[in-house]
Amino acid sequence: MLKRNLALLVLIPLLTTFAGCSKREIPSTVIQQEDAQKIFKELPNEEQILTYNLVADPDSIDPHKATSLSASIVMQNIFEGLVRTNENMEQGPGLAKSWYASQDKTLWTFHLRKDAKWSDGKPVIAEDFVYGWRRAVNPETSCNFAYMLDPIKNATKIYQGKLPVEELGIRAINDNTLEITLEQPTSYILELLAFPTYFPIRKDVVEKNPDTWEFNPKTVITNGPFKLAEYNQNNLLSIIPNENYWDQGRVKLDEVRFVFITEPSTGLLAFDLGEIDGTNEVPAQEIPRLQAENEDFMIAPYLGTYFFCFNVTREPFDDVRVRKAFAKAIDRRAIVTTVTLGEQISATGFVPPGIITGEEDFREAGGDYGIDPMGAQVEEAKKLLDEAGYPNGEGFPKVEIKYNIGENHKRIAEAIKEMWERNLNVDVELKNMEWRAFISDRQKGEFAVARHGWIGDYNHPMTFLNMFLSKSDNNDSQWHNEEFDKLIYAVKRESDPKKAAKLMHKAEDLIMEDMIVVPIYYYTNPMMMKDYVKGWIRTPLGHMFFDKAYIEGRSNNISRGY
């Protein structure tokens, strides 16, 4: 195949995990800030408008309300935190120009840029972080990611309603100096600070329009490289350069148009017709052809797990033997080789490969929990179902699998339906739902079995384990385990990486022993991007950054459909 340079950001551990998987070479050629001015003087005068298919409409772009990956991609481009993730997957200066930690690593001081401004021209001050973080942990906000602030002093007790928000370990020394107190040393604190939940929020903006501020271009005020220009639900979200951004000179695109084409085949057609410049998903059945023929196709690494979750409070899935029977009745190899086709890896545990803890890959050290990655374990599954009181599936109630609309989700659900019916002799029906309705049902526990997937928010096992805390808003399985909770909070207090790794393995053991989820495969991201789109960054966490992106080599007369 022809090879072209991409600005694809990769973690070293993930490079090891995925090396040689893709037909497409994916080097990183991000334009450095100091070279940008020289390079762009030489560029032809082309329309600097990028149209990208995010597939799913963001559920919100409020950093304390949003939960979806599509929302995260938008927020990472219109907001900015204390630090930014750079092209080497390292955290560098963002709104903070410098920082230092105390000797015991529990007190951190950040110095903000004096030229940092909001999109309306007002300065970004330390108090904006104080308000934003307090809002995130305030129980009244119901922030799904409040637990991301657990390392901050008193955060856990505050969102549990045990302390007032004023007790959070953050204070503004002055307008440009912020002090943070941690519960204990946290090795990945800088990675956390790049996550949207840690972004600053303007108090006056939120309180003026508390329910609608974030989707209205007239009321949403942001501080990142771009700002919101237009939003039409389920159709288009447009961002344009923020002229008040402190480093506005590095932004070369005049507009990024995010569209939401939920069907991969329709998205691919739009790409082929030149109506969009990139798409975050392609039809699985087209992957072999695209790999062989299309230089714009790539399979990018993705730190995540695709799985089904059980509602463990509903019969018959309140019985662990039933859950294990259904988990063992799946042929994962058949799914990744005949259904998804994107070089995914069969999942035998919940935390995906590619995360190094205590000098070893967490997944490799954790083992496979008795799951065969090469095929279904039919006899074991039947025996477990028999022990649960359903010999050969007799008397087992009809099973409903809920999943959100999408060709690939449908194909996976259909494959698993066939496996469960054939291997367990049970009746299975499928129910596909619009994204927001699906998420609502799953979060409220209104399901028996539901499609799920989790992409890491940072490169650490805790980003996967945290979601199953008893009081986590992301604990859709409705599972409550005091021993698990104690282990997770012990990890957060442990400063020794090797000891923390042992605690995390014990926590994952509980998840898998109770089989509250059915790991199916570890993600990859088959996607498309035109070769004339340069300078963009995609991380294995699924984040995409367009602040250094530009268009070079596209004819101005290509039809633009959005």
Neighbours of 3 (CB within 10 A): 11
**Per-residue pLDDT, 45:** 55
- Report pLDDT for 357: 86
Instruction: Give CA torsion, residues 38, 44, 49, 55, to 10 deg.
Output: -90
Percent of the chain with pLDDT over 90: 81
DSSP per residue, 304-327 = EEEEEEE-TTSTTTTSHHHHHHHH
Mean of pLDDT values over 98-108 = 96
Q: What pLDDT, on the 0 to 100 scale, is given for residue 555?
A: 72
Give 378-416 as a DSSP string.
HHHHHHHHHHTT-GGGTTPPPEEEEEES-HHHHHHHHHH
Domains in the chain and their CATH numbers?
A: 1-55+225-296+530-562 (3.40.190.10), 76-209 (3.90.76.10), 301-524 (3.10.105.10)
- CA angle 137-140-143, nearest 5°? 50
Q: pTM of the prediction?
A: 0.83
Using one digit for the tens of pLDDT, what is the confidence trace for 462-488? 999 999 999 888 899 999 999 999 999
Question: Which comes out higher in pLDDT, residue 67 or 294?
Answer: 294
Confidence check: pLDDT of 41 > 50 = no
Q: Residues for the chain: how many in total?
A: 562
Least confident of 85-99, 181-195, 366-380, 451-465: 85-99
Q: What percent of the chain has pLDDT over 70?
A: 90
For residues 533-540, give the mean pLDDT.
Answer: 94
pLDDT of 86 > 80? The answer is no
CB 507 within 8 A of CB 488: yes
pLDDT(38) > 70: no
Q: How large is the average pLDDT for residues 175-204? A: 95
Q: Give the model confidence (pLDDT) of 266-303 as tens digits.
A: 999 999 999 999 999 999 999 999 999 999 999 999 99
Report d(CA 195, CA 552) in Å as an integer: 31
Instruction: Please give the structure tokens belonging to residue 95.
Output: 């709104």
Site of tokens 């006056």? 204
Average pLDDT for the chain: 90
Q: What is the pLDDT of residue 436?
A: 86
Residue 15: per-residue pLDDT: 33
Q: What is the mean pLDDT of residues 490-510?
A: 91
Amino acid at 140: E
Tokens 């023929």 map to which residue? 293
User: Average pLDDT of 87-104?
Assistant: 91
**Mean pLDDT within 59-63:** 94
Q: What mean pLDDT comes out for the span 39-53?
A: 70
Rounded CA separation 528/293 (Å): 13
Confidence band, pLDDT 50/70/90 cuts, at residue 87: low
pLDDT reading at 505 higher than 50:
yes
Beta strand 226-232 pairing with 533-534: unpaired
Q: What is the pLDDT of residue 27?
A: 31
- How far apart are alpha carbons 418 and 399 in whole angstroms? 12
pLDDT 10s digits, 196-235 = 999 999 999 999 998 889 889 999 999 999 999 999 998 9
46 pLDDT band, cuts 50/70/90, is confident
Band (116; pLDDT cuts 50, 70, 90): very high
**pLDDT value at residue 39:** 35
Tens-place pLDDT, residues 336-357: 999 999 999 999 999 999 998 8
Specify the pLDDT at position 156. 93
Name the residue among 213, 247, 202, 245 with its Cα closest to residue 227: 245
- Beta pairing class for 449-455 and 399-404: parallel
Predicted confidence at residue 495, as pLDDT, reads: 78
Query: Rounded to 5 degrees, what are φ and ψ at 534?
Result: -115, 160
Give the CA count within 13 Å in the CB-facing half-sphere of 253.
26
